[in-house]
Amino acid sequence: MSKSQIEILLNGRLSPDFESVLAAEFDLCPLRQQHDRSEFLKVHGRKFKGLVTNGIVGADADLIAALPSLQVIASRGVGYDKIDLEAVKNRGIALSNTPDVLTDCVADMALGALIAVARGLILADRYVRRGDWLQQKFPLKTKVSRKKLGVVGMGRIGRAVARRAAGFDMDIRYHSRMPKAELSWSYMDSLCDLAHWADFLMICTPGGVETRHLVGAGVLMALGPKGILINVARGSVVDESALIQALVKGQIAGAALDVFENEPRVPDQLLALEQVVLLPHIASSTHETFAAMENLVLENLQSFFCNGHLVTPVNEVGGQL
């Protein structure tokens, strides 16, 4: 069977150009085009050998169950918390993501978001546009250089953030599941202790059940009234209700958020807070990074259907990460 005869289901959207590339390489069917998804999957689900998705949409257990011939899932994005790993493991389905290629852009955005909230850049822009500068000077904000940065999650992105922060002469410590012997930065086994020490707390850990609401009321209280939270990981890592209360009560100074618990829906309470920078999950959203991620999706599919191996398999299902 040639690759053009292999039927691939697309769950979610990719760039139009890349969808055209996939359609030329495989027999591609975008699930979004089906009026009655359940009925379509009941009738046609058995024919699909591959599933392409992204880190935001993923693939739940019901979708995977509706694809009895499924052999491989290729996801654009590094996070795979929206993919039911138990179903993947039970079925022996191969799973790939796109690590490394988005690390730089996410780390760049993380530092940009930190600076934006600490120095009040968004507020300053509005200040000028409203004409307020004609009346008085913009209020003083918080210095970034030589401050204390606590990084939660010291994987690829956490390390890239730390390297950038070192350029600002920041004192860097981190918390993760275990210390990394190869790193020179100090490890703290208590997240609350890290938050209490830090001026800025940067969330870079993966999402999923293990990290759900890892940052809750206790951690935010420890961060303190001068502390700032930055989240470029997953919205589920932070207890959003606890964060809102901490911001409203002045228990922390501010936050920069690229991700939310129920995105794209953002709570009205957050929208009303001026000390919060709100971003629409764009940390990896550059032309260069999306092209690199989508090329890697294609490489994974080509490699799997040619020789049975993935280029970037996910370690939880027997690969590497």
pLDDT average, residue stretch 303-310: 96
| pLDDT, average across residues 53-66 | 96
**Tell me, what's the pLDDT at 1?**
53
Among residues 25, 263, 299, 316, the one annotated as catalytic is 263
For residue 90, which of 65, 119, 118 has the smallest C-alpha distance? Answer: 65
Give yes or no: residues 91 and 116 share one domain: no
Query: What mean pLDDT comes out for the span 250-257?
Result: 98
281 catalytically annotated:
yes
Residue 320 domain-assigned (yes or no): no
Q: In this model, does residue 3 exceed pLDDT 80?
A: no
Residue-range definition of the domain harbouring residue 197: 103-278
At what angle are helices 103-119 and 121-130 packed, to 10 degrees?
60
Specify the pLDDT at position 318. 42
User: Are residue 121 and residue 60 in the same domain, yes or no?
Assistant: no
Together in a domain, 93 and 226: no
The total number of structural domains in the chain stands at 2
**85-109 burial: b if 16+ Cβ within 10 Å, else e:** bebbeeeebbbbbbbebbbbbbbbb
Closest CA to 207 of 293, 82, 110, 101: 82
Quick one: average pLDDT of 158-162?
A: 98
Global confidence as pTM: 0.90
Q: Are residues 291 and 217 in the same domain?
A: no
Statement to judge: residues 32 and 169 lie in one domain: no
pLDDT given for residue 45 in this prediction: 97
Residue 245 belongs to a domain:
yes
Residue 186 in this model has a pLDDT that exceeds 70: yes
Shared-domain flag, residues 214 and 80: no
Residues 39 and 123 in one domain: no
Distance CA 290, CA 230 (A): 23
End-to-end CA distance of the chain: 30
Residues 206 and 58 in one domain: no
pLDDT band at 142 (very low <50, low <70, confident <90, very high): very high
Q: Is residue 257's pLDDT more than 90?
A: yes
Residue among 13, 91, 119, 281 flagged as catalytic: 281
Residue 90 sits in a domain of what CATH number?
3.40.50.720
Say if residue 26's pLDDT is above 60: yes
Q: Are residues 166 and 254 in the same domain?
A: yes
Q: Are residues 95 and 115 in the same domain?
A: no
Q: Are residues 72 and 170 in the same domain?
A: no
Strands 186-187 and 171-175: parallel
Whether 172 is in a domain gets the answer yes
pLDDT reported for residue 5: 86
Let me know if 309 is a catalytic residue. no
Taking the C-alpha atoms of residue 139 and residue 134, their distance in angstroms, rounded to an integer, is 13
pLDDT at 315 over 80: no
> Is the residue at 187 inside a domain?
yes
Would residue 321 count as lying in a domain? no
Catalytic residue, from 234, 240, 261, 294: name it.
Answer: 234
Flag whether 40 is in a domain. Answer: yes
In the predicted model, what is the mean pLDDT of residues 171-198?
97
Q: Is there a single domain that holds both residue 113 and residue 95?
A: no
Please check the confidence at residue 4 and state whether its pLDDT lies above 80: no
| Residues ≥6 apart with Cβ < 8 Å to 231 | 203, 215, 237, 238, 255, 256, 257, 258, 259
Question: Residue 60: pLDDT above 60?
Answer: yes
Give yes or no for residue 321 having a pLDDT over 50.
no
pLDDT above 90: percentage of residues in the chain: 95
| Strand duo 94-96 + 72-76: pairing | parallel
